[in-house]
Amino acid sequence: MLSGRLGLEKARIPHADRHGLVWLDRGRLEVESGCLRFVTAGGGDLEAGDYQIPHQGVSIVLLGPGSSVTHDALRLLARHGCSLAAIGEGAVRFYTAPPLMPDSSAAARAQVMLWANPDTRMEVARAMYTMRFDEIVRTRDIEVLRGREGARIKESYRLAAERYGVPWRGRNYDRAAPDSADLANQAINHTATTMTAAASVAVAAMGAIPQLGFIHEDSGQSFVLDIADLYRHDVTLDIAFGAAKEAMTKPEPVDRLVRRRAARLFRQKAVIPSMIDRIKTLLRLSKAEGGDDGQNGRGETE
């Protein structure tokens, strides 16, 4: 089987002896003679054909649009501890993930221990800031950290708008009427949704706890939002302002342009595998706990 053709990514999580992700779309996931197979007429990333899926050798199957799955396939995946997530095109939406049964509690236990101690919780929050801005912050006050982050992001918006030639009058939108915002703000809103979906895949695949965030606190997806924000100043803005620029000249809804651009950049920049690697780093997981398979970003063994 050609790993690159099926989208096998570089991260092994949390099954130390497995590959990470396999992307499938526009086909039928079924079981034949005890083997998991994906039958597709083409039209997506795979050419038309009947592919055998190595369910015992991957951690999570990402099933995209135009696909169906049989009861036998769900049963087989559950029996062998392989998760299945229903996603939008290129993982720009995250709908459901049955079953989610990581075979290790290492990530969840590490996360709880770091979160429960105020000192280590702040250390992780500062590490997130350093990942984003390549700057070490010494403060022990989370509000100070949030303030510095807000200032950096505000400047990032301005620079991205200037780079793409998109009019920008600041971050301003009405949650009750999001479509009333200008193109740039609408694009940022839609892009945030796609990035949250990608982070949901990464957090679910790692078996981490979505509710326990280090910077975000109130949301039931706090850790997901923490991970999504690691890409807010670069990938998110490239998607949003690039789509806003396209929307200025193309008669297409900006949300559709965002989803298309996000799906492409998620693959090109290996965003989800990168998220998984960063979760391992933040939770201080060893290679034995998080897995490492020596693959490059395209999912091909070097």
- Spatial separation of the C-alpha atoms in residues 78 and 99, rounded to whole Å: 6
Bond prior to 98 in cis (omega within 30° of 0): no
**Cα–chain center distance at 106:** 20
pLDDT digits (tens, 9 = 90+) for 83-104: 888 988 888 888 876 656 566 7
- Spatial separation of the C-alpha atoms in residues 84 and 140, rounded to whole Å: 39
pTM exceeds 0.85: no
Question: Does residue 73 contact residue 98 with C-beta atoms inside 8 Å?
Answer: no
Torsion angle (degrees, nearest 10) of CA 239, 244, 250, 252: 80
pLDDT score recorded for residue 93: 87
Instruction: Output b/e per residue, 19-46; b: 16+ Cβ within 10 A.
Output: bbbbbbbbbbbbbeeeebbbebeeebbb
pLDDT score recorded for residue 91: 82
pLDDT score recorded for residue 300: 32
pLDDT digits (tens, 9 = 90+) for 113-138: 999 999 999 999 999 999 988 888 88
Tokens at 112, concatenated: 């709880």
